[in-house]
Amino acid sequence: MKAISRLSCAISLAVLLPLSATAGEVEVLHWWTSGGEKRAADTLQKLVEAQGHKWKDFAVAGGGGEAAMTVLKTRAVSGNPPAAAQIKGPDIQEWGELGLLADLNDVAAEQKWDDLLPPQVIEVMKYQGDYVAVPVNVHRVNWLWINPQVFEKAGATPPTTLDEFFAAADKLKAAGFIAIAHGGQPWQDGTVFEDLAFSILGAEGFRKAFVELDRATLTGDKMVEVFAALQKLRGYIDADAAGRDWNSATGLVIDGKAGMQIMGDWAKSEWTAAGKVAGKDYECLAFPGTQGSFAFNIDSLAMFKLNNADNRKAQEDLARTVMGNEFQEFFNQNKGSIPVRMDQDMSSFDACAQKSMADFKEAAADGGLQPSLAHGMAASSYVQGAVFDVVTNFFNDAKADPKRAAQQLAAAIQAVQ
């Protein structure tokens, strides 16, 4: 609530100030269309409008952004792109190669982004040395969410290793609970696979496999072990998992029907909405074996070249606002993620967010901070799709061979490069 109060004051004070002499229009394409996301987007709009600019909302529903990207491509091809669009990961580089993105170097220098952001994030936001996108937040993908009451009833212990994870799953299953709440959708299968890969390969091995696309790593014994662990994990998922949305799976853990869920920190928004308290009603653990590592997924706004000087000013003010402490706090408390600024005061955030920020900083310093493959940060959408196809087919075939799956993974990735 403190963040909301301060933002309200900031908006009120800004309204009292004289409007900018160069007020412009900023059109923003995004898919923040539900719950806390929409509240945060609405607040960003108010902050921009309070500076005298006109906000043109271009919201396209669809959690993964596929529909939004289709619309954006149509607009860009016709020579009429929005001022800013929610684009992330390697896709930023692809838009940069088309020569359509505007630089944010002046804003970045003014706000000292080079000092505020870790190198791994800076690398994603730049194209050929120029800042072309502003990061909004950081999601951690490698989380395990548990219901401690269910664990207590089953006599299970929160796991820190994969062996302990499967031992806890055995106890939960034996006690009549769904051990692992899951939704049988390709991106959810990919998220589970990614966390197992992070655990078994380690951060360096993960990078070799899914950023560098190293064939020896993709087909090696450790990758075979990843598929074997995925096959074992399948036995702890209930029969109704097929097609289930991630938030419905979260609901099973919240309601005490399931003990665990493997999911990124957006799952926390469901616990918050249910009035649950981190560290009491639920626990967030680094996925077993990934302590000290951080698989990141970053929302960002890429900026397109504009001809109108006033609109360009509005575009730069948008970037300044996104990187401001007030908005970073408000947006991320609603989204379940953490601020991208490493100097952010985390005292008003919950225990899970505080732990996430501490782990983010630690991982950034020692190589443990790596881009998520399952969430579009590590490789192209073609590579991601190829991995999803292999993983989901394997996951749904009880007789599949882990060694053959590793070979299929490397072949599928090679085919789309």
* Protein fold of 143-295+363-416: D-Maltodextrin-Binding Protein; domain 2 (3.40.190)
Q: Is 20 exposed, middle or buried (0-12, 13-18, 19+ CB in 10 A)?
A: middle
* C-alpha closest to that of 301 among 8, 21, 2, 40: 40
Q: Is 128 exposed, middle or buried (0-12, 13-18, 19+ CB in 10 A)?
A: exposed
Q: What is the pTM of this model?
A: 0.89
Q: How many helices (H) and strands (E) does the chain have?
A: 19, 14
Give, for 55, the enclosing helix (H) or strand (E): strand 54-59
pLDDT at 10 (0 to 100): 46
DSSP state of 59: E
Question: Cα(first)–Cα(last) distance of the chain, in Å?
Answer: 47
Determine how β-strand 130-131 pairs with β-strand 126-127.
antiparallel
pLDDT digits (tens, 9 = 90+) for 15-36: 334 444 558 999 999 988 876 6
pLDDT digits (tens, 9 = 90+) for 285-339: 999 999 999 999 999 999 999 999 999 999 999 999 999 999 999 889 888 899 9
Ranges of each domain in the chain: 2-139+297-355, 143-295+363-416
Q: Are 269 and 35 contacting, i.e. CB atoms less than 8 angstroms apart? A: yes
* Protein fold of 2-139+297-355: D-Maltodextrin-Binding Protein; domain 2 (3.40.190)
* C-alpha closest to that of 91 among 69, 71, 114, 107: 69
Phi, psi of 222 (to 5 degrees): -65, -35
pLDDT digits (tens, 9 = 90+) for 70-123: 889 999 889 999 999 999 999 999 999 999 999 999 999 999 999 999 999 999
